Amino acid sequence: MAPPGFKGYRPYGTSKNLKNAVELMYEEYEALKLADYDLLTHQDASKIMGISRPTFARIYENARRKIALALVETREIISIYGNVWMDKNWFVCNDCHARFTIPASFLDHSCPVCLSLKIESLKIN
């Protein structure tokens, strides 16, 4: 599993004050990606995520409800770690928010996108 390529989304074109953000956990993002973007069955997606099909269905349903809540109530969506294990060591740039994976021995302590020195390791459970 790789982290989402975003830290969040905000409604555009609304004059309302935004309510509390909706927190989309990485595993919920992954469930949406596998089922709705990759068009996998719940059974196949659950195998990829290493969880049971009923657990996948619960995670997927929670993600769909959160997205619906954010759209209907014009809330911001932010991505949070949740309970995941990443397949590689991932890093995030605190300037451009790029997320990338590079073997630690090759990392020259700068972002490969914007060359910022403000990078940190994504610490995942």
Q: Decide if 30 contacts 82 (C-beta within 8 A).
A: no
Q: What percent of the chain has pLDDT over 90?
A: 37
Confidence of residue 125 (pLDDT cuts 50, 70, 90): very low
Range of the domain at 116: 88-125
Q: Give yes or no: residues 73 and 49 share one domain.
A: yes
Q: Give yes or no: residues 2 and 44 share one domain.
A: yes
Q: Decide if 30 contacts 83 (C-beta within 8 A).
A: no
Beta-sheet strands, E only, within the chain:
8-9, 22-25, 77-80, 91-93, 99-100, 119-121
Q: Give yes or no: residues 3 and 52 share one domain.
A: yes
CATH code at position 48: 1.10.10
Q: Give yes or no: residues 69 and 117 share one domain.
A: no
Mean pLDDT, residues 5-22 taken together: 82
Q: Give yes or no: residues 73 and 14 share one domain.
A: yes
Q: Give yes or no: residues 35 and 74 share one domain.
A: yes
Confidence of residue 15 (pLDDT cuts 50, 70, 90): low
111: left (phi over 0), alpha (psi -120 to 50) or beta: beta
For residue 15, give every residue at least 6 positions away whose Cβ sits within 8 Å of its Cβ, in sequence order, or none.
none
Q: At what angle do helices 53-72 and 42-49 cross, to 10 degrees?
A: 100
Mean pLDDT, residues 45-71 taken together: 94
Q: Give yes or no: residues 58 and 117 share one domain.
A: no
Q: How many domains does the chain have?
A: 2
Q: Give yes or no: residues 26 and 78 share one domain.
A: yes
Q: Give yes or no: residues 73 and 42 share one domain.
A: yes
Q: Give yes or no: residues 94 and 79 share one domain.
A: no
Q: Give yes or no: residues 70 and 11 share one domain.
A: yes
pLDDT tens readout for residues 82-124 = 655 555 677 777 887 666 766 655 556 677 777 888 887 766 5
Q: Give yes or no: residues 69 and 119 share one domain.
A: no
Q: How close are the terminal C-alpha atoms of the chain, in Å?
A: 13
